[in-house]
């Protein structure tokens, strides 16, 4: 009898585990999201001005502005999940979120694991450093320490192209900037859009390398094979271009940081069409 109960218990455990695992990894269709009344979106909580939490505990930024509109047009509420650069793919693969809108650069490696929608932003790498020891070309970092955030295109680029540069790696953007501020590294490299904004708000630092590597794009990502949500997002991005939505997003969230003379067209992509 005891053996029978043990076998039953083991069987139930396997069944329950399989059921839970299936529900945690399956992608939700647009209809399922609408029925639930909520869309779950991964964003950064510490990457100002693209995704961050303000002094009132509210998510703000260029990516968040877009996510709010997505929820509005779906007729649902939005639930934000803070994410690290290294966990963006994993959050989609495991079904923790419906969409990643965390300044996600499109790369061939990532496209093997997730599906990217049409782009809404252009980006390259940049390098920010103290004005007193300004880095103006990557070669100057050989023998020095370059700060990067794990799981970013900067990590991939410097690992492949400059193996002689020592990389000081952090999980969070806030940690990386703190290391730059207190002198643990000689420079920090990430998206040029971000370091340019950060340098404006932090006197004593400047972006000596404004464009490095290829011109890439930023796009929303969904779980691989989620055609329902991918198609809806692509249609949404095309439709929003009719009202110049992403330029409005820029004016609301980025213009106050970059200033009146900054060129929005250098960053914004409308309707998924790159000019």
pLDDT tens digits along 36-70: 999 999 999 999 999 999 999 999 999 999 999 99
More confident residue, 6 or 230: 230
Q: Is the pLDDT of residue 15 over 60?
A: no
pLDDT tens digits along 103-136: 999 999 999 999 999 999 999 999 999 999 999 9
pLDDT band at 22 (very low <50, low <70, confident <90, very high): very low
From residue 72, how far is each of 140, 232, 266 by CA, in Å?
47, 13, 27
Say what the pLDDT of residue 8 is: 41
Mean pLDDT to the nearest integer, 150-155: 95
pLDDT tens digits along 201-258: 999 999 999 999 989 999 999 999 999 999 999 999 999 999 999 999 999 999 999 9
Calculated CA dihedral for residues 187, 188, 191, 192, nearest 10 degrees: -30
Integer Cα distance of 207 and 130 in angstroms:
9
Number of H helices, E strands in the chain: 11, 13
Question: What's the sign of the alpha-carbon dihedral 118, 122, 127, 128?
Answer: negative
- What the block records as the tokens of 264 is 């929005």
Q: Is the pLDDT of residue 79 over 70?
A: yes
Say what the pLDDT of residue 214 is: 87
């Amino acid at each position: 009898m005891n053996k029978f109960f043990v076998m039953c218990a083991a069987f139930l455990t396997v069944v329950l585990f399989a059921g839970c695992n299936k529900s945690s990894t399956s992608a939700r269709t647009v209809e399922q999201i609408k029925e639930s009344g909520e869309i779950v979106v991964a964003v950064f909580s510490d990457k100002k001005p693209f995704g961050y939490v303000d002094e009132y505990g509210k998510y703000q930024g260029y990516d968040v502005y877009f996510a709010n509109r997505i929820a509005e047009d779906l007729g649902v509420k939005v639930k934000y999940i803070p994410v690290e650069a290294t966990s963006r793919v994993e959050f989609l693969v495991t079904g923790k979120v419906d969409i990643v809108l965390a300044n996600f650069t499109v790369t061939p490696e990532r496209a093997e694991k997730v599906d990217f929608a049409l782009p809404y932003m252009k980006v390259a790498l940049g390098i920010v450093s103290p004005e007193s020891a300004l880095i103006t070309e990557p070669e100057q970092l050989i023998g020095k320490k370059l700060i990067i955030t794990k799981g970013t295109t900067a990590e991939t680029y410097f690992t492949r192209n400059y193996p002689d540069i020592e990389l000081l790696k952090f999980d969070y953007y806030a940690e990386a900037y703190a290391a730059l501020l207190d002198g643990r590294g000689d420079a920090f490299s990430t998206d040029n859009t971000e370091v340019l904004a950060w340098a404006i708000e932090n006197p004593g630092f400047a972006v000596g390398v404004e464009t490095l590597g290829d011109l890439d794009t930023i796009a929303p990502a969904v779980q691989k094979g989620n055609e329902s949500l991918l198609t809806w997002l692509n249609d949404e991005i095309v439709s929003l271009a009719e009202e110049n939505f992403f330029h409005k997003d820029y004016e609301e969230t980025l213009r106050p940081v970059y200033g009146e003379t900054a060129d929005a067209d250098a960053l914004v992509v409308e309707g998924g069409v790159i000019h």
